Structure 1
Amino acid sequence: MKIQNTQKDNLHIENINNVKVAQTEMRNNHMNGTTGIIVSGLIWLTSGFVASSYSSKQAVWTLLVGGALIYPISIIFNKIIGVSGTQSKNNPLTNLAMEGTFYMLMCIPLAYGLSVQRIEWFFPAMLLIIGGRYLTFNTIYGNRLFWVLGGILGIAAYILFSLNAKCHISALTGGGIEIVFGFFMYFNARRIMPKK
């Protein structure tokens, strides 16, 4: 009985270590996800400027089209700063990242549908969607700051919705939060990343 419990404990420790190894690879090869946060923040800011200078409808499409470009642009930035932007094919966290992406994509029509009812609701809805997605990044990257980021985006969405904030205010708020967090996490990741 004691041998069986020891085997279970060893298997449990091995599984935890495998997750930690997978998270380390994701952190090191994607700069802890920070380039994606910064690129997303820039797209949100661009959308906010479009909303204030042109129209809210164009701002919605700016965020939707720009959002589709976040991953490829962040991969380019990763390569520029010297990280691969890819992970090994057998990294189990790749599936979680893809599942989170598909979940987010499945939620976007809800936000768009809200925008048809009232355009100001689109950006708070998107903040809730991406805030929820960031919660899974804690598991992917092993960094609890993603819980904080997701929570702050969710709270901001609620406040902006409650205040019936204009589109440009909501978009600029979301972009500002992501930029601040992105750069904070980037410099923190740079400090703790292994030297090559």
Structure 2
Amino acid sequence: MRIDEAQADVRRVYRGGFVGQLVSGTLWLIAAAVASWVSPGASITTLFLGGMLIFPLTTLALRAAGGPAALPKGHPMAALATQIAFTVPAGMLVAVVVGLTEPNLFFPASMIIVGAHYLPFVFLYGMRLFAVLAGLLILVGVLLLLWLPVGAPLGGWFTGALLVLFAFLLRASSERRGHL
């Protein structure tokens, strides 16, 4: 199988990243709401534990939508997709420690970790739009982390909205390619 064919399979099965981004964006918006109206500590728990549910919820939503919910066994991109998925929980442990020390830094640190995790999606999906998403998350995360530590929820609200926006941009991009 050629790389472009394997990438097309990833775009088709995962709907161009639409479902995963929508699930992730919703989680970030919930975590931002918890930070705004409950407490920063509760938002850390929400994003960390909720993050572990992103893949199962995405799989459930894909099944409910009909069609495949995973790449077939032995698919050349399956191992890469699994490896990418495990980068965020490992990195989030660092963000949790940072957030427990200084709650205003949790969301910016998480943004940088999640943004970096999207970089290999460029190859996995064959979509440069993931590089734009990664760059925006990393850039804004760094700005919030270093120059504008203005409160815990801002990074969460921004990231949630950005992920929901990119869900639709990614879906449109995949539809234009004829992969949905």
| 2:168 alignment counterpart | 183
Q: Is contact 1:31–1:83 with CA below 8 Å preserved after alignment? A: no
Q: Structure 1-normalised TM-score?
A: 0.85
- Separation (CA, whole Å) in 1 of partners of 2:171 and 2:64: 14
Q: Is contact 2:7–2:124 with CA below 8 Å preserved after alignment? A: yes
Identity %: 29
* AA at the equivalent of 2:96: Y
> Tell me, what secondary structure is at the counterpart of 1:79?
helix
| 2:27 alignment counterpart | 43
Q: Which has the larger radius of gyration?
A: 1
Aligned length: 179
| 2:129 alignment counterpart | 145
Q: CA RMSD in A?
A: 1.5
Q: Which structure shows the bigger proportion of residues in helix conformation? A: 1
Stretches of structure 2 that go unaligned for 5 or more consecutive residues are: none
- Separation (CA, whole Å) in 1 of partners of 2:21 and 2:179: 21
**Superimposed CA distance per residue, residues 10-58 of structure 1 (whole angstroms, 9 cap, x where no aligned partner):** xxxxxxx621121111111110122101110000000111111110100
Higher relative contact order (CA 8 A, sep 6+): 2
The alignment status of 1:66 with 2:50, answered yes or no, reads yes
Shift of 1:83: 3.2
Q: Is contact 2:107–2:155 with CA below 8 Å preserved after alignment? A: yes
**Superimposed CA distance per residue, residues 78-132 of structure 1 (whole angstroms, 9 cap, x where no aligned partner):** 2233331211111121111111222222211111111122011111111111101
Post-superposition, which runs of at least 4 consecutive aligned residues in structure 1 deviate over 6 A? Answer: none
Q: Structure 2-normalised TM-score?
A: 0.93
| 2:88 alignment counterpart | 104
**Superimposed CA distance per residue, residues 174-195 of structure 1 (whole angstroms, 9 cap, x where no aligned partner):** 1011111111212332444357
